A = this chain, B = another copy of it.
Amino acid sequence: MAGNSFGKLFKLTTFGESHGEAIGGVIDGCPAGIKLDFELIQLEMDRRKPGQSKIVTQRKEPDTVEFYSGIFEGTTTGTPIGFVIKNTNQKSKDYSHIKDVYRPSHADYTYDKKYGVRDYRGGGRSSARETACRVVAGAIAKQFLSTLKINAFTSAVGTISLDKPYQDLDFNNIETNVVRCPDPVIAEKMIARIGEVKKQGDTIGGVITCVIQNVPAGLGEPVFDKLHAELGKAMLSINAVKGFEYGSGFEGSKMLGSAHNDRFNEDGSTQTNRSGGVQGGISNGMDIYFNVAFKPVATTLQKQDTINSTGETVEMQGKGRHDPCVVPRAVPIVEAMAALVIADYTLLRKQETN
């Protein structure tokens, strides 16, 4: 079914497999008149791209975006923005060894069950390569939302996690280290941990926290399209994500109402923000913040038993160049999806106000 579009008015449709000729997408509904900074777009691509540091996959992909429409003399025209990213690093032969094998905790088995046809070259459509298209669209959404600040960062790698609330962190530090953790000391520990895991040919999970600031009050579409529900769906649609919580989250479920409620200041802001910037599915003008849990990458370089498409047990071993931890590269993806949700709800909001 047609599940490759996201958003109602600011809408992204993506296509492409990890080992096809190209991936790409269409951004439909981007307002006209936005002067685009193409360097900023490429900068976001570079934050996601493989080979950027020693703790991510050493695969090389330039990930250059070709824009084919919707932009005239550097400015959006209001017509759909079509773009393509060529796959320069297919290496299909690398994958012949898994042609008939279902890799554990990958989508090989389920895609085969669903479609009855399998593009066995790497993850095909289920590969996180698709997220490069999300970053392109998110980078444009960010330029549309120029007054907002959207910052995601690595808050945990395995059991190593930030011990401070985000208010005590300096977001300027996020890009100063390869793991994208704003606390330099914790960052070093995270990097070391990923290094160990990599040496063992293993992988490790983690958590990304995202903070959206300067959001106007009034964004959100109850009752089913609540702002945090759409943010949750957006994050859960990212590869390897296992959980989402916003504001007080799972910890909030342990509290008493008298302790959990956010007191109002007379200007309508609140003294605490356990609501995470959203009440009743609508933004209240406070910071929106949430956590996204990522499982460890399923492809390890260790030997493991699995089955092939005829149901026989076979031994396999991950080859090639995989991420020991997906979290550092997922930071820009989380920001991109957040930007797409806020852009869409910003457009939806416009028709309610005169």
**Among the listed B104, B123, B351, which residue makes an inter-chain contact with A261, where contact means beta carbons less than 8 Å apart?**
B104
Q: Is A153 part of the binding interface, using a Cβ–Cβ cutoff of 8 Å?
A: no
**Among the listed B2, B119, B291, B313, which residue makes an inter-chain contact with A7, where contact means beta carbons less than 8 Å apart?**
B2
Interface string of A92-116 (1 = CB under 8 A from B): 0000000000101111011101111
* Complex Cα gap A311–B32 (Å): 22
Q: In the complex, are the beta carbons of B260 and A295 less than 8 A apart?
A: yes
Q: Is A63 part of the binding interface, using a Cβ–Cβ cutoff of 8 Å?
A: no
Q: In the complex, are the beta carbons of B114 and A78 less than 8 A apart?
A: yes
Q: Which residue of B lies closest to A121 (CB)?
A: B72
Chain B residues whose C-beta falls within 8 Å of the C-beta of A167 in the assembled complex: none
Most buried by B among A10, A20, A82, A244: A82
Q: Beyond A16-B82, A348-B1, A351-B31, is A266–B223 a contact (Cβ under 8 Å)?
A: no
Interface string of A216-238 (1 = CB under 8 A from B): 01101111111011101110110
**Among the listed B110, B124, B236, B306, which residue makes an inter-chain contact with A279, where contact means beta carbons less than 8 Å apart?**
B110
Q: Is A46 part of the binding interface, using a Cβ–Cβ cutoff of 8 Å?
A: no
Q: Is A126 part of the binding interface, using a Cβ–Cβ cutoff of 8 Å?
A: yes
Q: In the complex, are the beta carbons of A77 and B159 less than 8 A apart?
A: no
Q: In the complex, are the beta carbons of A114 and B220 less than 8 A apart?
A: yes
Q: Smallest CB–CB gap between A108 and chain B, Å?
A: 8
Q: In the complex, are the beta carbons of A202 and B256 less than 8 A apart?
A: yes
Q: Is A38 part of the binding interface, using a Cβ–Cβ cutoff of 8 Å?
A: no
Q: Smallest CB–CB gap between A334 and chain B, Å?
A: 13
Chain B residues whose C-beta falls within 8 Å of the C-beta of A67 in the assembled complex: 21
**Among the listed B126, B230, B254, which residue makes an inter-chain contact with A280, where contact means beta carbons less than 8 Å apart?**
B126
Q: Is A195 part of the binding interface, using a Cβ–Cβ cutoff of 8 Å?
A: no
* Complex Cα gap A265–B311 (Å): 8
Chain B residues whose C-beta falls within 8 Å of the C-beta of A24 in the assembled complex: 68, 82
Report the contact-size class of chain A (Cβ under 8 Å from the partner): 35 or more
Interface string of A17-46 (1 = CB under 8 A from B): 100111111101101110000000000000
Q: Is A257 part of the binding interface, using a Cβ–Cβ cutoff of 8 Å?
A: yes
Chain B residues whose C-beta falls within 8 Å of the C-beta of A239 in the assembled complex: 280
Q: Is A62 part of the binding interface, using a Cβ–Cβ cutoff of 8 Å?
A: no
* Complex Cα gap A165–B75 (Å): 44
Q: Is A65 part of the binding interface, using a Cβ–Cβ cutoff of 8 Å?
A: no
Q: Beyond A261-B104, A279-B107, is A81–B243 a contact (Cβ under 8 Å)?
A: no
Q: Beyond A280-B110, A283-B110, is A222–B352 a contact (Cβ under 8 Å)?
A: no
Q: Is A242 part of the binding interface, using a Cβ–Cβ cutoff of 8 Å?
A: yes
Q: In the complex, are the beta carbons of A81 and B15 less than 8 A apart?
A: yes
A254-295 CB contacts (< 8 Å) to partner B: 254-258, 260-268, 270, 274-276, 278-285, 291, 293-295
- Provide a sorted-by-A list of 15 A–B residue pairs whose CB atoms are within 8 angstroms: A3-B224, A4-B222, A15-B81, A16-B82, A20-B68, A21-B68, A21-B69, A32-B116, A79-B115, A79-B125, A113-B218, A205-B252, A206-B253, A243-B244, A350-B350
